[in-house]
C-alpha cells in the first residue's frame, strides 16, 4: 500500500480555472452550432429600447412598488439612460440622480436613500453611536456606496473626509477618524495601525481571498484587517455578517416605504 507521503506526492491538483475554460470553449462551439442551425443565440439579448419599455410599464403599474436595475449592465446599454428611466417614486435603490441630488442638498429629502450606505448609518443609530460633531472618514467614493455614505454622514452633522485611490497618506487621515466607513474592495487594506483607538468601524468591503481550508477554496474578508482592528477600535462590523445583511434589510425597508406612499397608507 502506498504511504501517505507517496499519496500526497502523486495527488492531482484540481484546476477549476482550466476546467472552467474548457467548459466555456465547449459552450462557444455549441452556441455557434445553434446559431447556424436555427438562428437562436441563448441568453438575454434585450435591446436598450426593450428594457426602457419594461421600466416604463413598471413605472405606471401601481402593483409594482420598487424597481431595481441590476448593475453592471451589458456593454450595449447605457447605464445612465436606464437608471434615469426609473421613476423617482420607485427608485428603491436610491440611485436616481434626483434622489442623489436631493441627498446632497440641504433642506431637501430624497424619496429613497441608497441601501448600503443607509444600512451603515442605521447600524450607527441602532447601536447608539453619536455621529453629530464626530470626525468621519469614508474610504471609497463610488456612486453606490462611498459618495452617498459621505453625504449621509454630513447630513448627520459629522465632519467628513473622503479617501480615494489618489489620496496621499490615507493612513494618517483615517487615524484621525472617530467613525470609519470603508467601501474600497481591497482585502485587509486598513490595518490596525491606521485606526484611532476607540473608533467605530463600518466595513462595507466584501473581498474573496484564497483559503484552501474553506470548502469553496476561498473566504470573504472586509477592507479592514479585522483581527488587528478589533484590538484597537471600540466597535467594528464583521465580514460577512455586518453590512451585507443590512443592505437587504434596507432594500425591504425602502420597498415598504414606497408601497405605503403609493397606497397612501400611514
Give the nearer residue to ligand NAP in terms of CB position, either 131 or 184: 184
- Does 205 engage in binding with ligand NAP (CB under 6 A)? yes
- 44, 76 contact by CB (below 8 A): no
Give the nearer residue to ligand NAP in terms of CB position, either 220 or 256: 220
Interatomic CA distance for residues 205 and 71, integer angstroms:
17
- Does 238 engage in binding with ligand NAP (CB under 6 A)? no
Kind plus residue range of the DSSP H or E element containing 236: strand 235-236
Measured from the CB of residue 182, what is the shortest distance to ligand NAP in angstroms?
A: 8
Residues 112 to 131 in contact with ligand NAP, rule: CB under 6 A: 116
Interatomic CA distance for residues 128 and 122, integer angstroms:
10
Measured from the CB of residue 240, what is the shortest distance to ligand NAP in angstroms?
A: 8
Residues 127 to 156 in contact with ligand NAP, rule: CB under 6 A: 139-142, 144-146
Give the nearer residue to ligand NAP in terms of CB position, either 84 or 247: 247
Cα-based distances in Å from 70 to 14, 35, 51, 74, 258: 33, 27, 12, 10, 19
Interatomic CA distance for residues 53 and 190, integer angstroms:
44
Q: Which three cell numbers stand for residue 169?
A: 497618506
Looking at 138, 152, 160, 243, which residue binds ligand NAP (CB under 6 A)? Answer: 243
Interatomic CA distance for residues 260 and 266, integer angstroms:
7
Measured from the CB of residue 206, what is the shortest distance to ligand NAP in angstroms?
A: 4
Binding site for ligand NAP (CB under 6 A): 116, 139-142, 144-146, 163-167, 170, 183-186, 204-207, 243-244, 247
Amino acid at each position: 500500500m502506498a504511504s501517505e507521503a507517496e499519496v500526497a506526492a502523486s495527488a492531482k491538483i484540481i484546476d477549476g480555472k482550466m476546467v472552467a475554460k474548457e467548459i466555456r470553449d465547449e459552450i462557444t462551439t455549441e452556441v455557434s452550432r445553434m446559431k447556424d442551425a436555427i438562428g437562436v443565440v441563448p441568453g438575454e439579448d434585450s435591446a436598450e429600447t426593450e428594457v426602457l419599455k419594461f421600466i416604463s410599464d413598471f413605472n405606471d403599474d401601481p402593483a409594482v412598488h420598487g424597481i431595481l436595475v441590476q448593475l453592471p449592465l451589458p456593454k450595449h446599454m447605457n447605464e445612465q439612460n436606464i437608471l434615469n428611466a426609473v421613476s423617482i417614486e420607485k427608485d428603491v435603490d436610491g440611485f436616481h440622480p434626483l434622489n442623489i441630488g436631493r441627498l446632497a442638498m440641504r433642506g431637501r429629502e430624497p424619496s429613497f436613500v441608497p441601501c448600503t450606505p443607509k444600512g451603515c448609518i442605521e447600524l450607527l443609530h441602532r447601536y447608539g453611536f453619536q455621529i453629530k460633531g464626530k470626525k468621519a472618514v469614508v474610504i471609497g467614493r463610488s456612486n453606490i456606496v462611498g459618495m452617498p455614505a459621505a453625504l449621509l454622514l454630513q447630513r448627520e452633522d459629522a465632519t467628513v473626509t473622503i479617501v480615494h485611490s489618489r489620496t496621499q497618506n490615507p493612513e494618517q487621515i483615517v487615524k484621525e477618524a472617530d467613525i470609519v466607513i470603508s467601501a474600497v474592495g481591497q482585502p485587509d487594506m486598513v490595518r490596525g495601525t491606521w485606526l484611532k483607538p476607540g473608533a467605530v468601524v463600518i466595513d462595507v468591503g466584501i473581498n474573496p481571498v484564497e483559503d484552501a481550508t474553506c470548502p469553496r477554496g476561498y473566504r470573504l474578508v472586509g477592507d479592514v484587517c479585522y483581527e488587528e482592528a478589533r484590538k484597537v477600535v471600540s466597535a467594528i462590523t464583521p465580514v460577512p455578517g455586518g453590512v451585507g445583511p443590512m443592505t437587504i434589510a434596507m432594500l425591504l425597508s425602502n420597498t415598504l416605504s414606497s408601497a405605503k406612499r403609493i397606497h397612501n397608507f400611514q
